[in-house]
Each structure stands twice: as C-alpha cells, then as structure tokens.
C-alpha cells in the first residue's frame, strides 16, 4: 500500500509544479481518479479520460488524449476541452 501512495503522491506533486489552469486540472484529476495498482487500467491520463464522474465540475475540462504514447511521460498530446495550450479559457477572434 505504501508504494501505491508514494507513486501517486510523487506524480501529483510533479503535476502540481506546472503552471496554468490545465496543469491544475491535470493534477486534481490525477489525484482524484488515478490508481497505479489497477492492472490494465492504463496511465493516469487514460484513467482520467475514462472518468465517469459526470457531476464533477472539472469533468468537461479533464485532459483527453489525442494521440501519442500512452504512458506517464510528457510525449503525449493532451487537449483540455475549453482550454487552449496556454491554459487560457478565452477564445481569440
């Protein structure tokens, strides 16, 4: 059990060091749903993408994979509905 808490805590801590709204949503969603002990559940991103908590205020803003690798490194392309790559929710015209 200690390994589970340590792995998740380290990942959430790493995500919290990044700046911006998207980073904050990533960290919160990871903290909420990620379970590194579930075999075959995928990375934290895949688990967040498969979240079914539709009543969560962050549900529509959770990170969704669009391609790339399915692991815990930074080489995957992530989109957050309603938030641009700079973390802004404002639409430019």
pLDDT at 76: 43
Instruction: For Cα atoms 43, 45, 51, give the angle at the middle one, nearest 5 degrees.
Output: 105
pLDDT at 67 exceeding the cut of 90? no
CA 65 to each of CA 38, 46, 70, 74: distance values in angstroms, whole numbers, following the listed order: 19, 7, 8, 12
Whether the full predicted model's pTM is greater than 0.75, yes or no, is: no
Predicted confidence (pLDDT) per residue in 82-93, tens digit: 555 555 555 544
Predicted confidence (pLDDT) per residue in 12-60, tens digit: 989 989 999 989 999 999 999 998 888 888 888 899 999 999 999 999 9
Q: Which of 34, 52, 51, 56 is nearest to 43 (CA)?
A: 34
């Amino acid at each position: 059990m200690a390994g589970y808490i340590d792995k998740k805590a380290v990942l959430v801590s790493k995500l919290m060091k990044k700046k911006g709204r998207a980073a904050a949503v990533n960290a919160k969603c990871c903290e909420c749903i990620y379970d590194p002990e579930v075999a075959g559940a995928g990375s934290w991103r895949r688990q967040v993408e498969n979240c079914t908590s539709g009543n969560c205020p962050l549900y529509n803003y959770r990170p969704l994979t669009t391609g790339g690798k399915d692991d815990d490194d930074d080489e995957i392309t992530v989109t957050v509905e309603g938030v641009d790559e700079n973390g802004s929710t404002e639409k430019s015209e």
